[in-house]
Amino acid sequence: MNRYLGGKYDIIVVGGGHAGVEASLAAARLGMKTLLLSLSLDHIALMPCNPSVGGPAKGHVVREIDALGGQMGINADATQIQMRLLNTSKGPAVQALRAQSDKHEYRVRMAWTVQNQENLDVKQAAVEDLLIEGDHVAGVVCNNETMFLGRAVILTTGTYLRSRVIIGKLLTPAGPNNQPTAAKLSESLKDLGLELFRFKTGTPARVDRRSVDFSKTKEQPGSDAPLAFSYMTKRFDRPKVPCYSTYTNPRTHEIIRENLHLAPKYSGVIEGVGARYCPSIEDKVVRFADRDAHLLFLEPEGLYTNEIYVQGMSTGMPYEIQEKFMRTIAGLEHVKIMRPAYAIEYDGVVPTQLKPTLEYKAIGGLYGAGQINGTSGYEEAACQGLMAGINAALKLKEKEPLLLKRSDGYIGVLIDDLVNKGTNEPYRLFTSRAEYRLLLRNDNADLRLTEIGREIGLVDDERWRVFNERVEAIASVTEWLGQVKFSGRDAKVAAYLEEKGSAPVDGGISGTDLLKRPNIDIRDLAALDGKAGRWRDDDLKEREIEVKYEGYLRKQREQVARFEKTEGRRIPDDIDYGDVSGLRLEAAEKMAEIRPYTVGQASRISGVSPADISVLLVYLTERRGKDGEK
């Protein structure tokens, strides 16, 4: 077949979802001539599921993306219709931002950003095959008889690979929102020798706002505080729209039980593996049979739509049953479905075939990011896209790759889990996946990563200036805390301590020591010292956490120091695990498959025991001795 050569690029990104936009923006911003190919230019940065960004661990990731110079935080801030800080009572490490998004604005604004990015071409086309030269990728072949040459290709195919939408018994080969599926690309990946998996996910129904009786539900307003993911966000004048909550009831559950045989999971039409944290309503009813109510949220999808997302109501039931059981719910008695809930199955590529740079070990220059790697969620996808874009660019520039450690951020945790352990269900981040959670906080994401972003070249001068201002502000808070003395004889101080149920002070106490007491708030101390409003709350809070929980944080930093010792111990690329005497066969096979970079990484491979690591260390020590003799 004669193919038209559509162009030559440094980096080609296949897919314009949340991973694809971050990947292409990062690559282009790093000076790479970049092409973004999407099945539909109307669906760039589409939110096919919940109209929200953030939450525990996910919100942390958005902050990390932002610190590295990614786009998600800025876009979410600019298109939110309410913002909340979750988990405020549960501790500083697990507090997280969550934005309710106008999903249409989100998409349009992001597409506009992408379209205006220098070095970036955006084209609508379906990629069907990859051009390979030797063991390296050379470009892509599209359905419209064109091809594009690229020195690196990043696959961000989302849930589109050989996807199939399921509603009850109705099976349609399609992507989300009845988009065309990318069936051929799936085949060609298999032909390249890559191992694929098949996952399932789902999304609840959207209902008509006008058909909901909100008086029977509970209003869930957003926060009035000026919350934002990004320090680049300066405007806080977005319209605020509330969400609403309601509950299922025994009657709902009865209808679901009566019709269980119609649910795809129970009728056996589903092949893909679903996520346990994302059960359908029928799953919840079956597995938690003793509960007679499940919480639902009604989330508006935007300012210029009547569609409401029914959070908690994911199902694979037929349309008729969906409407029937929904109408048993308080507020939804006369509900009209605008789009029914559906389940979707799709192919992905087993992520243990990736290096920590997200490049496939077997095919040079080919990268995978997002749901193709087995993850779930916009935020998880976006951070992988960013990292794949950065690493593809760094490789083409012949620079060292950017590898974030588990102690650097949630992004490090996610990628490390994926490439070492793989996943047998759609992988979502939780704060409990991070062993150094106390250090990987929402409040310090920028402090952790902005310098790295600057070094790479994604943090522009304005962001760098804002960051340095914050660093200086925090330093001045520290200085103040060390110097300021609060006197027990000061009536205001005494009254404050009494109000907080804190013991009176004899003589003077330093700000640092006083702050260590429970219930003492740093903002109050600033006010007592006549410095109210001198610092931003963010800067004060960061210091408060570091001072108040200093003992715990120090312990965790010590753990990190020990962890990083093994992270630093490199395993030579040419190691033959069959040569390592004493290594159990299972461990040798696993390590040969994953090919860990470091001893630390090896220790996290499932099926590798501490004793195997000791044996490996013996071998490495022995080998170093021998190499030394040579």
d(CA 283, CA 297) in angstroms, rounded, equals 18
Quick one: which of 414, 413, 376 has its CA closest to 273?
A: 376
Smallest distance, another protein to C-beta of residue 539, A: 20
- Of the pair 262, 618, the CB lying nearest another protein is at 618
Region near another protein per CB under 8 A, out of 6-14, 89-97, 122-130, 452-460: 89-97
Q: What is the CA radius of gyration of the chain?
A: 26
Q: Please, how many CA atoms are within 13 Å of residue 98, restricted to the half-sphere of its CB?
A: 18
Say if residue 305 is exposed, middle or buried (CB neighbours under 10 Å; 0-12, 13-18, 19+). middle
Q: Does 337 bind another protein (CB under 8 A)?
A: no
- CA–CA separation, 475 and 497 (whole Å): 26
Site string for another protein, 98-137 (x = CB under 8 A): x---------------------------------------
The rounded Cα 423 to chain-centroid distance in angstroms is 15
Candidate list 41, 86, 269, 527; residue touching another protein; CB under 8 A: 86
Give, as ranges, the residues between 145 and 204 that touch another protein (CB under 8 A): 203-204
Q: x/- contact string, 18-57, with another protein (CB under 8 A)?
A: -------------------------------xx----xxx
Exposure string of 151-175, with b = 16+ CB inside 10 Å and e = fewer, is: bbbbbbbbbbbbbbbbbbeeeeebb
Nearer to another protein, 20 or 422 (CB): 422
Q: Which of 90, 465, 489, 557 binds another protein (CB under 8 A)?
A: 90
CB of 90 to another protein, least distance (A): 4
* In the complex, minimum distance from the CB of residue 421 to another protein, in angstroms, rounded to a whole number: 9
Interacting residue with another protein among 373, 431, 450, 512 (CB under 8 A): 431
How far apart are CB 202 and another protein at their closest, in Å? 8
CA pair distance 468, 190, nearest whole angstrom:
48
**Count of positions on this chain that bind another protein (CB under 8 A):** 62
Residues 549-608 that bind another protein (CB under 8 A): 549, 552, 555-556, 562, 565-566, 581-582, 599
Question: Considering only residues 362-401, where is the footprint of another protein by CB under 8 A?
Answer: none
Q: How many CA atoms lie within 13 A of 293 on its CB side?
A: 7
Return d(Cα 476, Cα 448) in angstroms, integer.
Answer: 19
- Classified as helix, coil or strand, 129 is strand
The answer to whether residues 29 and 69 touch, using CB atoms and an 8 Å cutoff, is yes
Burial classification of residue 530, based on how many CB atoms lie within 10 Å of its CB (0-12 exposed, 13-18 middle, 19 or more buried): exposed
Residues 278, 281, 283, 287, Cα dihedral to 10°: 110
Residue 367: CB minimum distance to another protein, A: 27
Of 305-334, binders to another protein (CB under 8 A) are 311-314
**Hey, which bits of 164-236 come out as E strands?**
164-167, 170-172, 196-203, 206-208, 218-220
Stretch that binds another protein, among 86-94, 350-358, 381-389, 402-410 (CB under 8 A): 86-94
What crossing angle do the helices spanning 58-67 and 410-421 adopt, rounded to 10°? Answer: 110
Question: Nearest distance from residue 91's CB to another protein, in Å?
Answer: 3
For another protein, give the closer residue by CB, 193 or 582. Answer: 582
The distance of closest approach from Cβ of residue 589 to another protein in the complex, given in angstroms and rounded to an integer, is 18
Q: Which of 26, 76, 94, 459 binds another protein (CB under 8 A)?
A: 94
Are the CB atoms for 593 and 620 separated by under 8 Å?
no
Question: What single DSSP character describes residue 572?
Answer: P
Residues 269-298 that bind another protein (CB under 8 A): 275-279, 284, 287-288, 291, 294-295, 297
In angstroms, give the least distance from the CB of 166 to another protein: 17
432: contact with another protein by CB under 8 A: yes
Residue with tokens 């989302």: 158
Residue closer to another protein, measured from CB, 115 or 621: 621
The least CB distance from residue 89 to another protein, in Å, is 8
Task: Record the tokens describing residue 395, joined without a space.
Answer: 């490789």
In the complex with another protein, the residue whose CB is nearer, 73 or 92, is: 92
Nearer to another protein, 483 or 609 (CB): 609
Give the nearest distance from C-beta 275 to another protein in angstroms.
Answer: 8
Site pattern 494..533 for another protein (x: CB under 8 A):
------------------------xx--------------
Options 120, 438, 449, 571; binder of another protein; rule CB under 8 A = 438
d(CA 190, CA 617): 36
Please, where are the H alpha helices in 549-598? 550-567, 585-594
List alpha helices for 457-499, DSSP H.
461-483, 491-499
Rounded Cα distance, 92 and 441, in Å: 7
Q: Is the Cβ of residue 173 or residue 568 nearer to another protein in the bound state?
A: 568
Judged by CB under 8 A, the stretch of 130-138, 231-239, 424-432, 459-467 that binds another protein is 424-432
Q: What is the 3-state secondary structure (H, E, C) of 275-309?
A: CCCCCCHHHHHHHCCCCCCCEEEEEECCCCCCEEE
Question: Shortest distance, CB of residue 178 to another protein, whole angstroms?
Answer: 21
Q: Which residues of 553-572 are buried (b: 16+ CB within 10 A; e: fewer)?
A: beebeeebeebeebbeeebe
Residue 126: φ, ψ to 5°: -100, 120
Nearest to another protein of 338, 471 (CB atom): 338
Dig out the tokens for 334 from the structure: 């006369």
333 C-beta neighbours (distance < 10 Å), count: 13
Tell me how far, at minimum, the Cβ of 124 lies from another protein, in Å. Answer: 30
Task: Name which of 35 and 278 has its Cβ closer to another protein.
Answer: 278
261 touches another protein by CB under 8 A: no
Site residues (vs another protein, CB under 8 A): 49-50, 55-57, 86-87, 89-94, 98, 203-204, 275-279, 284, 287-288, 291, 294-295, 297, 311-314, 430-433, 437-438, 518-519, 549, 552, 555-556, 562, 565-566, 581-582, 599, 609-611, 614-615, 617-619, 621-622, 625-626
